[in-house]
Amino acid sequence: MSDLFSGLESLGLGSLEGMSIYDEEKKAATDAKGQAAVHEVTEEELLLDRTFKCPVCDNQFKSKTVKTGKVRLLSQDTDLRPKYTPFDALKYDAVACPKCGYAAVARFFNVMTTPQAKLIKEKISVGFKGIDNEKATYSYEDAIERHKLALVNAVVKKARISERAYTCMRLGWLYRGMAEALPKDTPNYETTIQSLKAQENEFIKNAYEGFSAALSKEDFPICGMDENTLVYLVADLARRSGKYDIALKLLSEVITSRSAKSALKDKARDLKEIISAERK
């Protein structure tokens, strides 16, 4: 390649002949790529502290939440549980006040009446010893503790049955996620997996019971779901609870519904095939 800077010797800059116009930029780009390849983004870096005001005691506090767009949906279980990468975002969905002990799944956190707040103060706050909101990330154990606190609050404040069922379902999902993430070299691996599965099943059965009741007692949308979606969900919760006949009946309702979307009908047909395989 010809020397683009030839002729500069007359200006006393002959030593600079042979330079490349873009060497530094190319080097910087290479360095940046190298750094990107070496640096693995951590879970902590994808979280932020969101400020909440407790509807029970008016305390302002911060709780970890996932930055928008920083996790990617990989797939969805048959009971609509989302599976994310690079970590399970479901761990960060329960919000807990560290002062009075009020907690709820985020979508229900600000749903509060004066009589409900009174119940929480009388039955939760008086014995509450605090919860650590300063952790950089939440383990599954942390997440389960926070969701159980949310569940006991839902029971104490006499929340809608759908809120209680929804919180139970998410606890079931957390136990499932914990089992999936458990390293194979964990001591007593099989025993631990069986224990986690048993706890998942217990919460799924409670979710089934609650959502079944909500279908006939509450107005739609319920927990953000229309009637067809909830009927499908209850069908899968029934399947997971061993109630196959009920599951098949509900799935038939979805498949024959004029208002159900084709994608949901496809899910219902797939679930019927799963049930057929499980019953063999």
Q: What is the pLDDT along the chain (280 residues), one digit of tens a residue?
A: 455 555 556 555 655 556 555 565 556 555 555 554 567 889 999 999 999 999 999 999 999 999 999 999 999 999 999 999 999 999 999 999 999 999 999 999 999 999 999 999 999 999 999 999 889 999 999 999 999 999 999 999 999 999 999 999 999 999 999 999 999 999 999 999 999 999 999 999 999 999 999 999 999 999 999 999 999 999 999 999 999 999 999 999 999 999 999 999 999 999 999 999 998 7
Facing residues of 82 across strands? Answer: 76
What sign does the CA torsion over 23, 24, 27, 32 have?
A: negative
AA identity, residue 152? V
Q: Are 90 and 163 in contact (CB under 8 A)?
A: no
Torsion of the alpha carbons at 207, 208, 209 and 211, rounded to the nearest 10: 80
What sign does the CA torsion over 181, 185, 188, 194 have?
A: positive
d(CA 30, CA 35): 9
Q: Which residues contact 97 (CB under 8 A, 6 or more apart)?
A: 52, 54, 56, 57, 59, 61, 103
